[in-house]
């Protein structure tokens, strides 16, 4: 169930939008001023935001710029009475995904909300092809690794081992699990090959990225 933040200070409009979205299965929260909208957006894991520009406290564009500056990339639909072309340009340049002017029909807003959520889901699927931990980026499409500003290539087995760690950040993986996933069943469980290859990755990706969990296995720091 998608969670939508409605940043709107006009109670009648906020209630109208909230009622319509909830009737279509969305979970909604209303923020009536700029500070509340910013704090909620940064801390509550919303899937989309409907943002009025004329919020008490500060302009909605400032809210949007702050969210994008903090790395929040969920879709934002601006909903405002400002219909000048320069206002629309400013909205998109600040990081908006869509722009709807008041007065509006709820049916149109709903279509735009659904479209932005679909696009966001598709984008997340693509982004899963790029895995990150610390300053290391693993690109599953090009099979290359970037450590800071340096791009390196890993041999096939090392890359597969790195991918296994990156897909399970913070999770302790035993040597037996890593043998199974990276080498298959052809290796003796008593072999130290996992330890050897973890050593290779530490030399190339950073000595502190993969930590040893004594008596169990290894864990990728996240």
Helix axes 193-205, 156-166, angle to 10 degrees: 80
Q: How confident is the model at residue 79 (pLDDT cuts 50, 70, 90)?
A: very high
68-72, 89-93, 117-121: the lowest-pLDDT one? 117-121
* Parts of the chain belonging to CATH 3.40.50.2300: 3-127
Per the structure block, which two tokens stand in for 189?
Answer: 């469980």
Percent of the chain's residues with pLDDT above 90: 61
Q: How confident is the model at residue 136 (pLDDT cuts 50, 70, 90)?
A: very high
What is the Cα–Cα distance from 210 to 196, expressed in whole angstroms? 13
pLDDT at 28: 94
pLDDT at 44: 75
pLDDT at 68: 86
pLDDT at 124: 59
Mean per-residue pLDDT of the chain = 89
* CATH number for the domain whose boundaries are 3-127: 3.40.50.2300
pLDDT at 127: 54
**pLDDT over 90 (residue 212):** yes
**pLDDT over 60 (residue 100):** yes
* Parts of the chain belonging to CATH 1.10.10.10: 130-220
* One-character DSSP codes across 22-48: HHTT-EEEEE-SHHHHHHHHHHS--SE
- Is-contact 77 51, C-beta < 8 A? yes
Q: What is the CA radius of gyration of the chain?
A: 23
pLDDT at 130: 85
pLDDT in tens, 17-64: 999 999 999 999 999 999 999 999 988 788 999 999 999 999 999 999
pLDDT at 40: 92
Q: Of the ranges 98-112, 136-150, 168-182, which is most confident? A: 98-112
**pLDDT over 70 (residue 150):** yes
**pLDDT over 90 (residue 92):** yes
pLDDT at 63: 94
- Is-contact 145 153, C-beta < 8 A? yes
CATH fold for domain 130-220: Arc Repressor Mutant, subunit A (1.10.10)
- Identify any residues that bridge with 31 across adjacent strands, giving them in sequence order: 7
pLDDT at 23: 92
**pLDDT over 80 (residue 151):** yes
Verdict on whether the full-model pTM lies above 0.85 = no
CA-based nearest residue to 220, from 149, 139, 138, 143? 138
Which residue did the predictor score with more confidence, 189 or 27?
A: 27
């Amino acid at each position: 169930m998608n969670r939508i933040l409605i940043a709107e200070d006009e109670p009648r409009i906020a209630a109208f939008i909230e009622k319509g979205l909830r009737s279509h299965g969305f979970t909604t929260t209303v923020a009536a001023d700029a500070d509340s909208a910013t704090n909620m957006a940064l801390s509550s894991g919303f899937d989309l935001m409907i943002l009025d520009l004329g919020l008490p406290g500060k302009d909605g564009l400032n809210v949007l710029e702050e969210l994008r500056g903090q790395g929040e990339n969920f879709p934002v639909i601006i909903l405002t009475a400002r219909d000048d072309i320069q206002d629309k340009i400013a909205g998109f340049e600040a990081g908006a995904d869509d722009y709807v002017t008041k007065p509006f029909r709820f049916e149109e807003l709903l279509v735009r909300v659904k479209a932005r959520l679909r696009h966001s889901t598709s984008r997340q699927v693509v982004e899963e092809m790029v895995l990150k931990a610390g300053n290391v980026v693993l690109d599953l499409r090009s099979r290359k690794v970037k450590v800071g500003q340096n791009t390196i290539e890993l041999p096939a087995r090392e890359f597969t081992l790195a991918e296994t760690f990156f897909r399970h950040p913070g999770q302790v993986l035993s040597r037996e699990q890593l043998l199974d996933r990276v080498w298959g069943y052809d290796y003796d469980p008593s072999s130290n090959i996992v330890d050897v290859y973890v050593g290779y990755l530490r030399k190339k990706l950073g000595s502190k990225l993969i930590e040893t969990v004594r008596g169990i296995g290894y864990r990728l720091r996240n």
